[in-house]
């Protein structure tokens, strides 16, 4: 059989002008074979020489695209070198991960897809290189899909037109001989395909393979119309599903049926504005199996406020995972809206009730098999900015963007990660424009998937700030706040923009709305409160808030801490902040102003922050450890902006 099909392939090759199958041979070293075909005195060499490939490898890896991605350079260098040295058998996922990508010996390619992810990125990077700076390069290095073994070719090598193509008469004779020899097996194949097609139309024979719950064959529809039809099994939702039950009134409730329905509808609307949960009503039917049930009860008496008590049950085990009591005046629409917002924040904020519970439930599940785990991993990174968490979240989100292309969050969080890489220099140096372009592409894709995603609009705001488009950033921020004023991350992002633009009171006012009554006060709030107090010249309050924000990975927080501690006379803590900045973010040793401008919009306040940090650094360098640092006075002191004084804590 093997000989028969081998002859089939050989005859097919001869039909198109190739006398036999030829493959370059691999010896102890990579030996480039030149297949010479004559037309007059011209000879064509199919493959470039070893030294040409080596020079091309240097050109590629020294380009801007690859300098900004050292992991891709290491990947490409490893596979090309192994192939040239005749060690193609070592080009496997495990060896690439361990020897090129820095994984340890316990690496398991079945669990960790880093090699596949980086191979895809490498192919994209090579395509960008050869369509840009390398568009005139003679030698092309490629990584064909389906494997990791590189291929080399010359750009100038044309088709067989210049290699003595057989004339039309010879081709006609070969075609006739080929058709005569293989007519019988081709007829068998055609009949088999036809029979299968008829069976599929009549009986839907591929239903066991496709998993369709209902037989769509013509025969079944004609003769089995009365057969019971099994309802399709609902698809498991990517995100947790919360089922909202109607309010139940107990005691002497002042909340009428219409008001109770309005309260429930407002709560459903507030929860549905988050992209990481699915909300259904109790009367909507089991469109997807619910994970949680939220029940609402009201209690009141004529002389007191209305009490609303939400109770959240985990339907996987029937346990009550959260409950709280909220009091408000039933006659006050703002009070009802505030209660709805507080419930939404408690349940769905990062590290809130739902995410904390899901983290426990999904801890044993591989993040590569669970897209929602990618969201949890990303939030772990954004809570601390610890570099080891970055790679975990990035690999997971890149996979999730492929396996769940209909979900907005993987693209939005990928944009967020790329933006932090551009700002902080996590993978490459800070300020790489290609990294910022990837962030912009990802957030645009997120908005295409869900145009009303408040979270995607907030990420777009931050990306546009980094690009210097402040007007566009403010529009995106206002859109995000309008879409979901209950999401803490969105509020903090927009408040940061307002503070940097000098709208300090407005920025802190929207932050305080989501802090009041919230048991979780993230570090980012303390940073914003410290920043607002510093801009107002309130160094005492700034010092208090800086003490509460002890994030050693957040560079702008370390800059602010050094300034505030130095201005309050604590030079030891100021030195420690500067040393941490240099240790965690060595690329920030240079121009602090440009580094800050990648996070905040350029403004007089940010210029003041950069100038103060430069002055503090110079003072610490000039003064001995025993000499105190004095706050600057006189004409050289930076005045506080003329805004209305308000508490920042």
Q: Which of 349, 378, 401 finishes a domain? A: 349
Q: Is the pLDDT at 633 greater than 50, yes or no?
A: no
**Continuous segment of H or E residues that includes residue 191:** helix 183-203
Tokens representing residue 445 in the block: 């894709």
Q: How much is the pLDDT for 22?
A: 37
42 φ/ψ angles, rounded to the nearest 5 degrees: -85, 140
pLDDT band at 220 (very low <50, low <70, confident <90, very high): low
Residue 285, CA distances (Å) to 212, 234, 244, 282 in order:
21, 11, 12, 7
Q: Which of 170-184, 453-467, 517-531 has the lowest mean pLDDT?
A: 170-184
- Measured distance CA(152)–CA(207) in Å, rounded: 44
Structural contact between residues 217 and 206, judged by C-beta atoms closer than 8 angstroms? no
Cα–Cα dist 412/450, whole Å: 10
Determine phi and psi for 296, rounding to 5 degrees: -130, 130
**What's the predicted TM-score (pTM) here?**
0.62
> What pLDDT does 190 receive?
79
Confidence bin at 105 (pLDDT 50/70/90): confident
The mean pLDDT of 469-475, rounded to a whole number, is 93
54 CB-near residues (< 8 Å, 6+ apart): 84
- Residue 452 has what pLDDT? 93
Segments forming the whole domain that contains residue 111: 44-156
Judgement on whether residues 62 and 109 belong to the same structural domain of the protein: yes
On whether residue 504 sits in a domain, the answer given is no
Question: What number of other Cβ atoms are within 10 A of residue 296's Cβ?
Answer: 19
Q: What is the pLDDT of residues 47-103, one digit of tens each?
A: 789 889 999 999 999 888 888 788 899 999 999 999 998 888 889 999 999 999 888
For 379-433, the pLDDT digits (tens) are 999 888 888 899 999 999 999 999 999 999 999 999 999 999 999 888 888 899 9
Q: Do the domain assignments include residue 22?
A: no
Examine the pLDDT at 637 and tell me if it is beyond 70: no
Mean pLDDT of the region 551-562: 89
Provide mean pLDDT across the span 308-312: 91
d(CA 553, CA 591): 18
> Is residue 508 included in any domain, yes or no?
no
DSSP secondary structure code for residue 166 in this structure? P
Packed helices 488-500 and 504-515: angle between N→C axes, nearest 10 degrees? 160
Please check whether residue 298 is in contact with residue 306, taking contact to mean a CB–CB distance below 8 angstroms: yes
Q: How far apart are CA 412 and CA 400, in angstroms?
A: 12
Alpha-carbon gap, residue 241 to 234, rounded angstroms:
13
In this structure, the answer to whether residues 284 and 341 fall within a common structural domain is yes
Higher pLDDT, 166 or 453: 453
Do 66 and 107 have their domain in common?
yes
Cα 112 to Cα 367: distance, rounded to the nearest angstrom: 9
Q: 324 with 306: CB under 8 angstroms?
A: no
**Residue 358: which of 246, 508, 237, 470 has the closest Cα?**
237
Residue at which a domain ends, from 133, 156, 179: 156
In a domain, 108, yes or no: yes
Q: What is the pLDDT of residues 165-192, one digit of tens each?
A: 445 555 565 666 666 666 777 778 778 8
What is the pLDDT at residue 515?
A: 81
CA nearest 374: which of 388, 360, 384, 359?
359
Check whether residue 527 and residue 648 sit in a common domain: yes
Percent of the chain residues past pLDDT 70, beyond the cut: 75
Tokens encoding 58: 């240097």
Phi, psi of 280, deg, nearest 5 = -130, 155
In this structure, are 569 and 607 located in the same domain? yes
Distance of alpha carbon 101 from alpha carbon 94, whole angstroms: 10
Are residue 218 and residue 247 in the same domain, yes or no? no
Per-residue pLDDT at 29: 43
* Same domain assignment for residues 142 and 262: no
Residues 647 and 527 in one domain: yes
- Which CATH number does the domain housing residue 328 bear? 3.40.50.10070
Residues 606 and 541 in one domain: yes
Q: Is residue 312 part of a domain?
A: yes
Say if residue 517's pLDDT is above 50: yes
CB burial of residue 100 (10 Å; 0-12, 13-18, 19+): buried
- Long-range contacts formed by 253-256: CB under 8 A, 24+ apart: 253/298, 253/299, 253/300, 253/306, 254/300, 254/302, 254/306, 254/330, 255/298, 255/300, 255/306, 255/330
pLDDT at 353: 94
583 has pLDDT over 80: yes
In a domain, 530, yes or no: yes
Confidence at residue 627, expressed as pLDDT on a 0 to 100 scale:
47
Tokens of 408: 């907005």
Burial of 505 (0-12, 13-18, 19+ CB in 10 A): middle
Residue 35, pLDDT score: 42
3-state SS, 519-584, equals CCCCHHHHHHHHHHHHHHCCHHHHHHHHHHCCCCCCHHHHHHHHHHHHHCCCHHHHHHHHHHHHHH
Confidence of residue 304 (pLDDT cuts 50, 70, 90): low
Q: Where are the beta strands (DSSP E) in 324-448?
A: 326-328
Residues 212, 105: one domain? Answer: no
pLDDT at 201: 66
State yes or no: pLDDT of 566 exceeds 80: yes
Q: What is the mean pLDDT of residues 155-171?
A: 47
Token pair recorded at residue 104: 């340890």
Q: Tell me, what's the pLDDT at 440?
A: 95
* Span 210-223, average pLDDT: 56
Say which DSSP state 42 is in: B
Rg, the chain, Cα only: 32
What's the average model confidence in pLDDT over 554-583?
Answer: 92
Three-class SS of residue 153?
strand
| Lowest pLDDT segment from 531-535, 543-547, 620-624 | 620-624
* Domain-ending residue, one of 306, 326, 349: 349
Cα 71 to chain centroid, rounded: 18
Q: What is the mean pLDDT of the chain?
A: 79
Angle at 492 between CA 491 and CA 494, to 5 degrees: 65
Residues 529 and 584 in one domain: yes
Asked if residue 646 and residue 528 are part of one domain, the reply reads: yes
Could you give the number of structural domains in the chain? 4
What pLDDT does residue 146 have?
85
431 close to 420: Cβ distance less than 8 angstroms:
no
In a domain, 291, yes or no: yes
pLDDT band at 435 (very low <50, low <70, confident <90, very high): very high
Predicted pLDDT at 416: 96
Residue 509 clears pLDDT 70, i.e. is over it: yes
Overall average pLDDT of the 286-295 stretch? 79
Q: Nearest Cα to 410, choosing from 369, 456, 463?
A: 456
Q: Tokens for 373?
A: 């785990």
Q: Are strands 139-142 and 151-154 parallel, antiparallel or unpaired?
A: antiparallel
φ/ψ of 259, rounded to 5, equals -70, -35
Q: Tell me: pLDDT of 488 over 70.
A: yes
Residue 90 in domain? yes
């Amino acid at each position: 059989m093997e000989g028969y099909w081998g002859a089939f392939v050989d005859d097919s090759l001869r039909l198109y002008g190739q006398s036999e199958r030829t493959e370059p041979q691999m010896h102890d070293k990579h030996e480039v074979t030149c297949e010479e075909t004559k037309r007059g005195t011209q000879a064509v060499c199919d493959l470039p020489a070893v030294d040409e490939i080596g020079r091309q490898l240097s050109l590629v890896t020294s380009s801007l695209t690859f300098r900004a991605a050292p992991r891709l350079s290491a990947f490409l260098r490893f596979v090309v070198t192994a192939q040239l040295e005749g060690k193609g058998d070592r080009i496997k996922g495990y060896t690439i991960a361990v020897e090129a990508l820095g994984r340890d010996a316990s690496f398991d390619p079945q669990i960790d897809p880093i090699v596949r992810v980086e191979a895809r990125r490498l192919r994209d990077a090579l395509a960008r290189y050869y369509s840009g700076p390398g568009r005139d390069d003679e030698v092309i290095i490629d990584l064909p899909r389906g494997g990791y073994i590189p291929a080399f070719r010359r750009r100038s090598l044309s088709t067989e037109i210049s290699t003595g193509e057989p004339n039309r008469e010879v081709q006609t004779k070969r075609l006739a001989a080929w058709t005569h020899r293989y007519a019988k097996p081709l007829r068998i194949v055609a009949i088999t395909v036809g029979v299968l097609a008829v069976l599929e139309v009549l009986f839907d024979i591929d239903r066991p393979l496709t998993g369709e719950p209902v037989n769509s064959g013509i025969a079944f529809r004609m003769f089995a119309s009365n057969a019971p039809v099994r309802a399709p099994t609902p698809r498991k939702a990517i995100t947790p599903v919360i089922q909202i039950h109607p309010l139940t009134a107990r005691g002497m409730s002042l909340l009428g049926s219409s008001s109770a329905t309005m309260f429930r509808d407002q709560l459903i609307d507030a929860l549905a504005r988050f992209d990481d949960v699915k909300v259904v009503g109790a009367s909507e039917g089991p469109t997807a199996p619910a994970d949680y049930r939220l029940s609402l009860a009201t209690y009141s008496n004529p002389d007191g406020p209305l009490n609303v008590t939400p109770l959240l049950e985990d339907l996987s085990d029937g346990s009550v995972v959260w409950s709280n009591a909220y009091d408000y005046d039933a006659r006050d629409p703002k009070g009802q809206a505030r209660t709805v917002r507080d419930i939404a924040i408690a349940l769905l904020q990062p590290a809130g009730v739902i995410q904390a519970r899901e983290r426990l439930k999904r801890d044993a599940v591989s993040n590569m098999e669970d897209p929602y785990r990618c969201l949890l991993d990303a939030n772990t990174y954004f809570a601390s900015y610890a570099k080891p968490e970055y790679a975990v979240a990035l690999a997971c989100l890149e996979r999730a963007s492929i396996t769940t292309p209909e979900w907005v969050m993987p693209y939005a969080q990928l944009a967020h990660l790329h933006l932090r890489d551009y700002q902080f220099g996590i993978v490459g140096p800070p300020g790489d424009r290609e990294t910022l372009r990837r962030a912009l592409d990802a957030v645009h894709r997120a908005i295409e998937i869900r145009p009303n995603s408040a979270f995607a609009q907030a990420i777009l705001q931050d990306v546009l700030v980094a690009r210097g488009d402040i007007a566009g950033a403010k529009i995106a921020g206002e859109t995000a706040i309008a879409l979901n004023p209950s999401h803490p991350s969105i509020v903090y992002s927009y408040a940061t923009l307002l503070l940097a633009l000098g709208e300090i009171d407005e920025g802190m006012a929207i932050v305080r709305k989501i802090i009041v009554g919230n048991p979780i006060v993230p570090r980012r709030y303390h940073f914003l409160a410290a920043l607002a107090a510093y801009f107002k010249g309130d160094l005492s309050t700034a010092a208090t808030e800086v003490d509460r924000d002890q994030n050693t990975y957040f560079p702008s927080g370390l800059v602010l801490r050094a300034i505030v501690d130095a201005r309050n006379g604590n030079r030891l803590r100021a030195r420690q902040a500067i040393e941490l900045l240099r240790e965690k973010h060595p690329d920030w040793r240079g121009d602090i102003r440009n580094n800050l401008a990648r996070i905040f919009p350029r403004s007089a306040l940010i210029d003041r922050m950069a100038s103060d940090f430069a002055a503090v650094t110079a003072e610490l360098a000039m003064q001995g450890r025993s000499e105190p640092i004095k706050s600057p006075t006189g004409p050289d002191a930076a005045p506080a902006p003329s805004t209305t004084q308000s508490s920042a804590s």
